[in-house]
Amino acid sequence: MSSFYGVELTSRLLLGTSRYPSPAVLERAVKASGAEVVTVSLRRESGAGRAGQAFWSLIQSMGVRVLPNTAGCHSVKEAVTTAHMARELFDTPWIKLEVIGEPDTLQPDVFGLVEAARILSEDGFEVFPYTTEDLVVAERLVEAGCRVLMPWGAPIGSARGLNNVYGLRSMRAHFPEIPLVVDAGLGVPSHAAAAMELGYDAVLLNTAVAEAGDPVEMARAFALGVEAGRAAYLARPMEPRDMAVPSTPVIGKAALGD
């Protein structure tokens, strides 16, 4: 069971809600994943009037917790304004904070991210910052009031997996008491399992499921990957070795004469 700002969750898979072929497929994928938290972009929800209302009604019918995000924001002012609108619309203090600094990789603007996180935390938000695996930035985010950190695995939608395993492992060791979520860049369930094997508390993904040939089956597969990775972490895997070690004991082996 994982805990975010005092909310206990049984599922360690958080799922995005954009880019699905249809609302029906989205609903089935969320159910198959077992996710208890879904992310929702304010821009998606507020667009097209009736369409936005129908989408919000669908999310409400799923019985999941909503984590609004500031996707697409490129400045502190834009992100803070979007967060306030999201809190009013979705009636939750939770906000996934994105401040994008580079258009090709969608890498976070970590300077703006820290500033926006401080402003929002002081205003009563419970911030889930989309960040890099940089430890100094992470320290500043915690000092700004964040009680969850969400480092990327790879650029959003890239399906490249964990680009910097060393950095992610270092972050886990550096923040043993802070809930950590790998957010972005995962492509297949083995990527999610690898993140969980590092001791991460959860993973958040969207494109890998939404753009799969069968999003429902992929959602189910990711749920299994997260479960397997967590179980492996708790089982304390053996350390890698430089030399082979026989799996069959050699003591007591019969000696055959000439």
Half-sphere CA count of 46, side-chain side, radius 13 A: 12
Q: Cβ-count burial of 134 within 10 angstroms (0-12 exposed, 13-18 middle, 19+ buried)?
A: middle
Q: HEC string of 113-161? A: HHHHHHHHHHCCCEEEEEECCCHHHHHHHHHCCCCCEEECCCCCCCCCC
Half-sphere CA count of 4, side-chain side, radius 13 A: 30
Exactly one of 31, 77, 96, 253 is catalytic; name it: 96
Active site (annotated) includes residue 253: no
Asked if 148 and 169 touch (Cβ cutoff 8 Å), the reply is no
- CA 84 from centroid of its chain's CA atoms: 22
Position 200, amino acid: Y
Asked if 67 and 94 touch (Cβ cutoff 8 Å), the reply is yes
Which residues are marked as active site?
Answer: 96
